[in-house]
Chain A
Amino acid sequence: MTTLEDLMNAPAPASAWVLAQDCAETGLDPGAVCAEMARRIGEMRASIERGLKTDAKSITGMVGWNAKGLWDAPDVLGASLLKRVQAYAMAVNEENARMGRIVAAPTAGSAGTIPGALLGVADHLGLPDERLVDPLILAAGVGKAISKRMFISGAAGGCQAEIGSSAAMAAAAVTELLGGSPRACVHAASLALMNTIGLVCDPVGGYVEVPCVSRNAFFAVHAVSAAQLALAQLESFIPPDEVVMAMASVGRLMPAELRETAEGGLAQTPTGLAVTAHMEGRVEGELPGGMIELPVV
């Protein structure tokens, strides 16, 4: 079983080791895996481009205009990287929320974090998409190591398991893109995950929209921040595999109400309850955020 410790001690670059290990296990051809990853980077980019152009509403109407709104807004902080990473991440998750085509990474609810961080940093630095294949393979390897100990869905362990995993994967990817050692990549993942522990999954109305869309924007930045720390040789005090075990243990302690059931947290606020009531058809008329009717299945 591959652990983060194995990954940390692998020969550089860590992605090459991950690819060799995975292909030995699955029998897949390394060239074919790389080609497919390159195609998926194209899919990520396409979802970003579609998401930045439109302000069409999501299924419920709770989100849909956030990515374009940010992209078109002035860069108030003079931090173009920050704005780019956030807008990319939200663009992907808004595409997801309007039944658009995205790459689950590792899940659909956390699909914006990796494209936001990885493509955001690459575009900021003017790096071509070909450079992103290896970092994406490393991201997958980190996700796989986490998923050996813990399911990566919000239903299993809260949002810490879902977006925590995607942030850890993104942090490792950005670190490798910027020339980090396997050790730095894994510590970036560990730092990102460590600071996600305890995060609940409380989708309003049960939809992958609020807080999921903005949460991806925040955690894409979180991942870039972890990469910056790790590239400066900062390390996670708690060893990476122990951080994963801690996250898993918190996930098991978490009550079902806080694991994607919409029975706790933001979903149970007065506005959250109003959304749920409307979605269940118990309330007629205008709703918070100007929601539209659900398409009839």
Chain B
Amino acid sequence: MSLLDMIGPVMIGPSSSHTAGACRLGLVAHHLLGEPPHRAVIGLHASFAKTGRGHGTHLALVAGLLGYRPDDPRLPRASLEAEAAGLTVEFRDVDLGDVHPNTAHIDLHGAEQAVTVQGSSTGGGVIRVTEVQGLGVNLSGASPTLLLRYADAVGMIARIASTVAADGVNIATLTCTREARGGQALLAIELDAPLSPEALAFLNRWPDMNWVRPLPKLMDG
């Protein structure tokens, strides 16, 4: 949390947790999909479901899915913009269990790809992404982040880390979750700077790599 997150974000009202944070959760899904979104199913939990509509939470989530940041003047008319962009969004009230009251589960589809993201808006526009593609993560969007999905095997993390190092980028945090030994693994790496397009392309070419997504820094500080 930096000074610019404390005085900020510059945003469209009315609620930093229900609007700016919701927009950033939508942005995570937007970037992870990596292509224009066609259809979204958004599950709203607790406070998001109860008081979201009047706070513009629905609009902010859709704005994020379209790639708008929390201060984008198009945010209040995001539902019309979505219609124009060919994105249909369905909202559902859901019970996601013992999670933060401001939590959304986003299921986003494009022409080729699909992504699921679950995350919470914890106040002041700060977010915490807790699940990507059904696997646990712990991301704040405060740094550029790299997400990779592959079949668990000996040495994968070391090979990925050395590719990142060869690109001249420092790793801040690294979290790996896997379904089972030898099953699908999700590696989330928070970085000090974004990875170069060449390094991303190199990682994408690995035969055992299923999915590589760069997430830009979403916070201001």
Q: What is the interface of chain A, defined by CB distance below 8 A to chain B? A: 18-19, 22, 25-28, 33, 36-37, 40, 43, 58-60, 95-109, 111, 114, 136-137, 139-141, 143-144, 147, 151-153, 155-156, 169, 205-209, 260-262, 279, 294-295, 297
Q: What B residues does A136 contact at CB under 8 A?
A: 7
In chain B between 24 and 82, which residues have their CB closer than 8 angstroms to a CB of chain A?
47, 50-51, 53-56, 58-59, 71, 73, 75-76, 79
Give the residue among A36, A155, A156, A260 with the most B Cβ atoms within 10 A.
Answer: A155
Q: In the bound complex, how far is the Cα of B11 from the Cα of A208, in angstroms?
A: 14
CB of B183 within 8 Å of the partner chain: no
- As a 0/1 sequence over residues 150 to 172 of chain B, the CB contacts with chain A under 8 angstroms (1 = contact) are 00000000000000000000000
Q: In the bound complex, how far is the Cα of B159 from the Cα of A114, in angstroms?
A: 49
Q: Are B123 and A206 in contact (CB under 8 A)?
A: no
Choose among A58, A140, A151, A155 the residue that contacts B6 (Cβ–Cβ < 8 A): A140
CB of B192 within 8 Å of the partner chain: yes
Q: Are A152 and B123 in contact (CB under 8 A)?
A: yes
Q: In the bound complex, how far is the Cα of B71 from the Cα of A79, in angstroms?
A: 35
Which label, helix, strand, loop or mixed, suits the secondary structure of the B interface?
Answer: mixed
CB of B176 within 8 Å of the partner chain: no
Choose among B17, B20, B50, B73 the residue that contacts A206 (Cβ–Cβ < 8 A): B50
Q: Are B102 and A208 in contact (CB under 8 A)?
A: no
Q: What A residues does B12 contact at CB under 8 A?
A: 99-102
- As a 0/1 sequence over residues 65 to 107 of chain B, the CB contacts with chain A under 8 angstroms (1 = contact) are 0000001010110010000000000000000000001100000
Q: Are B6 and A108 in contact (CB under 8 A)?
A: no
Shortest beta-carbon contacts, A-B, top 6? A153-B123, A96-B13, A206-B51, A140-B3, A140-B6, A108-B16
CB of B140 within 8 Å of the partner chain: no
CB of B204 within 8 Å of the partner chain: no
Q: Are B7 and A108 in contact (CB under 8 A)?
A: no
CB of B138 within 8 Å of the partner chain: no
Q: What A residues does B51 contact at CB under 8 A?
A: 206-207, 260-262
Do A106 and B124 contact each other (CB < 8 Å), given the known contacts A260-B47, A297-B79?
Answer: yes
CB of B116 within 8 Å of the partner chain: no
- Known contacts A169-B6, A206-B55, then 8 further A-B pairs from the complex at CB < 8 Å, ordered by chain A residue: A99-B12, A99-B75, A103-B10, A106-B6, A140-B3, A155-B17, A206-B54, A261-B50
Give the residue among A18, A103, A104, A279 with the most B Cβ atoms within 10 A.
Answer: A104
Choose among B2, B19, B79, B123 the residue that contacts A155 (Cβ–Cβ < 8 A): B123
